[in-house]
Amino acid sequence: MTRDHVETFRPWPALMLGLSVLVGCGGTFDPGPLATTAPAMSSSDTGDGPMSTGAMSSSDTGDGGASTGASTTGAMSAPVLVTLTETDVTLAPGRWRLFAATVENATFPYVTWSLDPPVNGGVFRAQAAPGTVQYEAPATPGTYRLIATSDEDPTVSAAVTITVSASAPPTVMIFDNFNQDSVQSGPDEDTTFIVAETRHITEVHTYHHAVGNNPLGTIALRHSDGTIYGHWPVLALDTALKLKTLWVCYPGVDIKQGTYTVVDSSPATWSMNAQSNYLGFAHVYGLAAP
């Protein structure tokens, strides 16, 4: 097993994800400076590509979701409870996705991540944002389980079932204004894009080079007629030796034809530069057009 911890990444789209090293009995993990985690928090397959060992807890629910542990710290205490942002997803081989665990009724709300099976089931990397983990699917199709186990009560856990399938719905980049030049924060103008037909939006990213210790926020899409899709809570990926820089959400919604503005809840930390025309950096992914 490996304890939830801080880890850093190389740039992406200069944001290329690092090499992994073997840990335990077959799981793999990225090298890099580590630190203790903060308390856990709570967020289709998309993303550009780029797991430690451990037995499943006897209280693991089997189909993901919250477990039903019986740990108490006193006669009247509520049991420890672990929940995940998702319980069942499908990914194409090599694709990545973020998940987050929340621990309730615990003095020490930390989790340890593991895989079932523990060998050749992909790669996971704990992130700086509390309870957040990045999972990269293996090249081999199959069904895998990513498990979050309470550190305070190891009999309590929750799992997400990940189906890796070569026939997963294809996704495409609908909008991208990222670049590798130096950045500033605080876009001068709205970040807008156009869709010519109804599209199913699977994933949206914004980049926050100067996010620091500011709390994570939300992302939304606003149609030119005022219709709002969102606001979706974000998860955060560590990139380019910075913590919590890539904000990621998974809308899973259909949007109608028209012009859209990406709405980020923290414009003061949203990155931009001259090459992006001083517009906030954003990626928008969706299913391929019919």
Dump pLDDT digits (tens) for 46-77: 333 333 333 333 334 444 454 444 444 445 68
**CA triple 88-96-18, angle to 5 deg:** 145
Which residues have CB under 8 Å from 249's CB, separation 6+? Answer: 43, 203, 204, 218, 219, 230, 232, 233, 234, 235
117 and 215 both lie in a single domain:
no
Q: What is the pLDDT of residue 239?
A: 87
80 and 115 both lie in a single domain:
yes
The pLDDT profile of the chain, 290 residues, written as one tens digit per residue, is: 444 433 333 334 333 333 332 233 333 333 333 333 333 333 334 333 333 333 333 334 444 454 444 444 445 689 999 999 999 999 999 999 999 999 999 998 899 999 999 989 999 999 988 899 999 999 999 999 999 999 999 999 999 999 999 999 989 999 999 999 999 999 989 999 999 999 999 999 999 987 767 789 999 999 999 999 989 999 999 987 788 899 999 999 999 999 999 999 999 999 999 999 999 999 999 998 77
End residue of a domain, out of 123, 152, 168? 168
End residue of a domain, out of 168, 192, 220? 168
Output phi, psi for 108, to 5 deg: -120, 90
Rounded Cα–Cα distance for residues 159 and 164 (Å): 16
Q: What is the pLDDT of residue 41?
A: 36
202 and 259 both lie in a single domain:
yes
Looking at residue 284, its amino acid is V
Q: What is the pLDDT of residue 33?
A: 34
Q: What is the pLDDT of residue 288?
A: 84
- Indicate which CATH number applies to the domain containing 189: 2.60.120
Per-residue pLDDT tens over the stretch 186-206: 998 999 999 999 999 999 999
Length, in residues, of the chain = 290
122 and 181 both lie in a single domain:
no
Nearest to 149 by CA among 84, 210, 105: 84
Rounded Cα–Cα distance for residues 29 and 157 (Å): 21
Output the pTM of the full model: 0.72
- Indicate which CATH number applies to the domain containing 26: 2.60.40.1080
230 and 257 both lie in a single domain:
yes
How many angstroms separate the first and last alpha carbons of the chain? 43
87 and 163 both lie in a single domain:
yes
DSSP secondary structure, 14-43, as one string: TTPPPP-EEETTTEEE--S---BPPPP---
Q: How far is CA 102 from the centre of its chain?
A: 14
Q: What is the pLDDT of residue 61?
A: 40
CB 42 within 8 A of CB 148: no
Q: How many domains does the chain have?
A: 2
Which residues sit opposite 262 in a β-bridge?
191, 221
156 and 213 both lie in a single domain:
no
85 and 106 both lie in a single domain:
yes
31 and 84 both lie in a single domain:
yes
259 and 145 both lie in a single domain:
no
C-alpha distances in Å from residue 173, one per residue of 129, 177, 202 = 25, 11, 10
CB 251 within 8 A of CB 202: yes
Residue 128 is classified by DSSP as S
Nearest to 91 by CA among 127, 42, 138: 138
157 and 175 both lie in a single domain:
no
End residue of a domain, out of 168, 191, 213? 168
Q: Which domain holds residue 21?
A: 1-168
81 and 216 both lie in a single domain:
no
CB atoms within 10 A of CB 96: 22
Q: What is the pLDDT of residue 129?
A: 86
Which residues sit opposite 22 in a β-bridge?
28
For 53, the 3-state DSSP assignment is coil
Q: What is the pLDDT of residue 35?
A: 33
Q: What is the pLDDT of residue 76?
A: 63
